[in-house]
Amino acid sequence: MKRIALVTLGWSLAKPPEELEKDKIHVAEILRQIEMEDRFDPDKNYYNLDLEVGSKALEILMEELRATPDLGYVSRIDHRYTRQELEAAELLLWRLTNQAIEDDYYDLHVDGYQGGPNASHKRCPTCRAELEQIRDLVVNKALMRGKDISLTYSFEIILSERMARLFQEQGLTGFDLRPVHHYKKPYKGEPTLYQLVVTNVLPPMASPPTEFERILHCDVCGITSQYLKHTHWWGKLQYREETDMYYSRYVLERVKDFNHSAEYFGELAVSNPYVIISQRVYRLLREHKVKNWKAVPAYLVD
């Protein structure tokens, strides 16, 4: 795994001309020091740089930013995995990277977020967390535009017919399929879509070493939601880096191809468990060149 720092470097256009000119020269000088002088453009006042943690270039850059914090900041540190690392992981966090499909039509347009009579879910009257899905989703299917998978705004997973069939034919476990309906009368070429409903729930993550932050709780419905720890400090500079997830090795006895984490994540009104997939699902998605997702290893501890 490589840790890549995403650093923004640049000068403020709000400064008086002579200071701005000085900052510009300073930025050019920093870029030269980290051997990125070819990126410099006097008309471009900010640069997004990807630098590996532990590299000489990042060390130089951070030294400069400590002395002159006006010139930039680290926005976050990303974890990048090699193919071998991903193929060695028995469990992976599955992250869908598109939200092409809007929410259920009646939730979005007819007060469904308050749990009204047409809502797709029963919701907590206080925190609005989804407590139970009470009918099939009704969406604008045209937005899927030939994609294989998409999240809705509320993080429901929508599958194309090809995907649903593939998962069934391969005998994958830990999920049900629910039909998805179009919000208006049927149209020519309307795709058949399904909602992937993950049914298997894993035991809680091993914590420590998994770390959480911003733990939220609603006393009315009893739901607890949180975030993986991601706030860190580099001297006085705050940056974002997500903590890895760990499970006790014994979860392998309980694991299916699709799994929900026991934990819920995010703000209460939109909190959802994470979807944890098996290595088998990971390979199948790659093999079939499915787009719009990524996977992060979830580690096992003894």
In whole angstroms, give the CA distance from residue 221 to residue 120: 18
In whole angstroms, give the CA distance from residue 106 to residue 128: 16
Question: Among residues 28, 221, 269, 290, which is the contact residue for Zn ion, using CB under 5 A?
Answer: 221
Confirm or reject binding of residue 220 to Zn ion (CB under 5 A): yes
Among 20, 9, 25, which residue's Cα sits nearest to residue 57? 9
DSSP 219: T
Q: Scanning residues 21 to 60, which ones bind Zn ion (CB under 5 A)?
A: none
Considering the complex, what minimum distance in angstroms separates the CB of residue 116 from Zn ion?
17
Confirm or reject binding of residue 127 to Zn ion (CB under 5 A): yes
Contact region with Zn ion (CB under 5 A), list: 27-35, 57-65, 163-171, 217-225 = 217-225
Choice between 29 and 111, CB closer to Zn ion: 111
In whole angstroms, give the CA distance from residue 144 to residue 135: 20
State phi, psi for 173 to the nearest 5 degrees.
-120, 165
Choice between 48 and 126, CB closer to Zn ion: 126
Choice between 124 and 237, CB closer to Zn ion: 124
Choice between 214 and 229, CB closer to Zn ion: 214
Considering the complex, what minimum distance in angstroms separates the CB of residue 131 from Zn ion?
8
State the binding string over 70-109 for Zn ion (x if CB under 5 A, else -): ----------------------------------------
In whole angstroms, give the CA distance from residue 271 to residue 154: 9
Q: What is the DSSP string of 251-267?
A: GGGT--SEEEEEEEES-
Considering the complex, what minimum distance in angstroms separates the CB of residue 217 from Zn ion?
9
Query: What share of residues in the chain are helix, strand, coil (percent, to 5)?
Result: 25, 35, 35
Considering the complex, what minimum distance in angstroms separates the CB of residue 24 from Zn ion?
52
State the binding string over 128-167 for Zn ion (x if CB under 5 A, else -): -x--------------------------------------
Contact region with Zn ion (CB under 5 A), list: 51-59, 70-78, 102-110, 218-226 = 218-226
Confirm or reject binding of residue 123 to Zn ion (CB under 5 A): no
Q: How many residues bind Zn ion (CB under 5 A)?
A: 7
Strands (E), the chain: 2-10, 46-52, 72-80, 91-96, 121-123, 130-133, 137-139, 149-151, 157-160, 175-182, 193-198, 212-217, 224-228, 231-234, 237-240, 245-248, 258-265, 272-278, 293-301
Choice between 6 and 218, CB closer to Zn ion: 218
Sequence-distant (≥ 6) Cβ neighbours of residue 67 within 8 angstroms? none
Confirm or reject binding of residue 218 to Zn ion (CB under 5 A): yes
Contact region with Zn ion (CB under 5 A), list: 6-14, 215-223, 224-232, 251-259 = 215-223
Question: Among residues 124, 142, 177, 269, which is the contact residue for Zn ion, using CB under 5 A?
Answer: 124
Choice between 37 and 267, CB closer to Zn ion: 267
In whole angstroms, give the CA distance from residue 115 to residue 121: 7
State phi, psi for 233 to the nearest 5 degrees.
-125, 140
Choice between 194 and 264, CB closer to Zn ion: 264
Name the token pair of 105.
Answer: 């039509």
Residue type, 25: I
Residues that bind Zn ion (CB under 5 A): 124, 126-127, 129, 218, 220-221
